[in-house]
Each structure stands twice: as C-alpha cells, then as structure tokens.
C-alpha cells in the first residue's frame, strides 16, 4: 500500500529527514491560522486508501501542537486515509502520569483519552518519560529507544562513569552503561519545587572520573545541575557530559548549564533546538531511525529490537 508522510509545524526538519531517508518527499499539508488564532488544516494531496504517517512532537507550545496534531488526524480520516500512524517523538504531559497531592489531574491519561477518540491505528513515541503510559492508550503504542544512538555519540566524551541524576533514571543509566561498558553511579535527590531539587548523597565511585549524566529529558536543568554539583563535590573531574533524548531547555536551563564545566551536551532532535542557545550541543538525528520504523511497519516486519526494554 502506498504511504504518505506528513509533518506538523513542531519539527518539520525531523520529518523531512525521515522522509529523505526513505527517498520520499514530505506530503503537502497547508496549515494556517485565522485572525482569532484558530488553526486551519488542509491536506493538499490525495490520500484516499493510503497509509499515512504523521510526525508531530507535542512540545512547546504544547497546547497548539497537540491541537494541530488532532486536527491533522481528523482531516486525514475525513478524506479517506486507510490507516493513520502517528509518530510523536516527544510526548508532552508524560510526566503527569499520577496524582501526587490528590488535587491535580492525570494529564497523561487525558491526552491518551483525546488520542483514543481519533481514528489513528498506531502511535510511535521515543523514550517516553514513563513507559507504563502505554496502558493509558487504546491504540498500540511503541516506545522507540534512542539510547543506542546517543550512547554511540556519547562515547566521544571518554566518560569513566554513567550517572543517574535521580532514582527515576537508574534503568536508563544502566542501559547507557551496558552499551558503553561503564559502571553506574546514582545521585539521590528530592524535589523541592517544579524547578528546584535538593541532593542528598552520591552512590558510586566517581572520584577522578569524567561523568556522563543521563536522563530522558532536560527541561529547566534543575535536576542535572544539582547532580553535577554533587558529583564535583564528590571529587569527579570537572569535565561533565550530559546525554538526554529530549532537550526542552526551557526557563533557566541555559544559564544553569552554562555555570557547569560542561564539555558535551548530547541531545536528539525530537524537539527543535533554538539556534541562539549557546551550549556545546551535539545533535543525534533521529530521522533515519524513524524512517526504519516506518519501513518495517510498512513491510509488516518486527520492530522489537528498537523498543525500550526495561
């Protein structure tokens, strides 16, 4: 069956990279806004009876990109697409997977409910903050891992130890360590606010070693900054590298990272990185990875070796 690749406005360069890797052009989609801010979508190609792959991260502005995704899905359904696969490289609201105080919503469940109401057949995401979110969705959700590609690039850092900046990233650190044949250290912390954390202890032999701090995302950089300071206090070498799949880099993130002896910041392009950010960023292009996922799905081949395994 013929396939078409569409892109929303959140990250067209990633979608173009995936399409180019498959030797295909991006399909034509017109997105415009009415004066009051309403999003208008027009699919400008014949997609009747065809397989559609739609690439759109729900990153900042999350609300706009999420609504844009839903409108494109609805448009594709209404003009006769046979099957719609949504590729969401960065899934927003994934951190809101439970009620912490009992007086807030479960945002991830709400997003899943919204997508559940659409005509999509499958969802592809990359390194979801909590892989257990798969249970929120009616449609099959495949959580693709960017760790092998990130670990390969991060090997240039000559790190001597992989560091988990909190208990939540331990399994991720273990996956990096397995690929890089390195030991693991863990920073124990507690969160004070949405942007501030407090470190308690560092578990692991980090003295006189170059650390590679790994996490699934860097938002305000509060967690990695606190971890880096704790590592320096514990005697690690002042040559810190950081690797993360999703580089949100919002709020005080840039200033916090600039204060560190940061040698490398390895990120993927699940989110467009603003060119004015003055940090030693090295980008892993996930376009070929997404292209391989599309190719295998289209040919009814297994993608089991590409998934996150905990």
Domain with CATH 3.40.50.2020 in the chain: 3-145+287-306, 147-284
Average pLDDT, rounded, for the chain: 93
Rounded to an integer, what distance in angstroms lies between the CA atom of residue 219 and that of residue 250? 6
Q: CA separation (Å) from 310 to 131, 171, 203?
A: 9, 7, 21
Rounded to an integer, what distance in angstroms lies between the CA atom of residue 100 and that of residue 272? 30
pLDDT digits over 235-288, tens only? 999 999 999 999 999 999 999 999 999 999 999 999 998 777 889 999 999 999
3-145+287-306 belongs to CATH 3.40.50.2020? yes
147-284 belongs to CATH 3.65.10.10? no
Q: Catalytic amino acids?
A: 189
* Angle (nearest 5°) at CA 191 between 125 and 249: 50
The pTM assigned to this predicted structure is 0.93
pLDDT digits over 205-229, tens only? 999 999 999 999 999 999 999 999 9
Burial of 32 (0-12, 13-18, 19+ CB in 10 A): exposed
């Amino acid at each position: 069956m013929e396939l078409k690749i569409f892109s929303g406005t959140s990250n067209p360069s990633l979608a173009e990279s995936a399409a180019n890797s498959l030797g295909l052009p991006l399909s034509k989609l017109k997105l415009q806004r009415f004066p009051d801010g309403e999003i208008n979508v027009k699919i400008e190609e014949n997609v009747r009876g065809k397989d559609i792959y739609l690439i759109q991260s729900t990153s900042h502005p999350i609300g706009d990109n999420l609504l844009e995704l839903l409108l494109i899905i609805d448009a594709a359904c209404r003009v006769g697409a046979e099957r719609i696969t949504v590729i969401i490289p960065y899934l927003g609201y994934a951190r809101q997977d439970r009620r912490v105080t009992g007086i807030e919503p479960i945002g991830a469940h709400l997003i899943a409910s919204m997508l559940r109401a659409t005509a999509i057949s499958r969802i592809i995401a990359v390194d979801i903050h909590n892989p257990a979110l798969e249970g929120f969705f009616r449609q099959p959700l495949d959580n693709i891992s960017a760790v092998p590609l990130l670990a390969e690039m991060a090997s240039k850092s000559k790190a001597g130890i992989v560091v988990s900046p909190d208990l939540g990233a331990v399994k991720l650190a273990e996956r990096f360590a397995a690929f890089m044949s390195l030991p693991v250290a863990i920073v124990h912390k507690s969160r004070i606010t949405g942007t501030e954390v407090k470190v308690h202890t560092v578990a692991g032999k980090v003295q006189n070693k170059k650390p590679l701090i790994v996490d699934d995302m860097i938002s305000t950089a509060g967690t990695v900054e606190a971890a880096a300071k704790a590592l320096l206090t514990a005697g690690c070498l002042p040559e810190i590298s950081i690797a993360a799949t999703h580089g949100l880099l919002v709020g005080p993130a840039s200033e916090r990272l600039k204060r560190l002896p940061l040698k490398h910041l390895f990120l993927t392009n699940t989110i467009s990185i603003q060119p004015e950010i003055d940090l030693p960023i090295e980008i892993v292009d996930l376009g070929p990875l997404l292209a391989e996922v599309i190719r295998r799905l289209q040919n009814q081949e297994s993608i089991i070796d590409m998934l996150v395994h905990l």
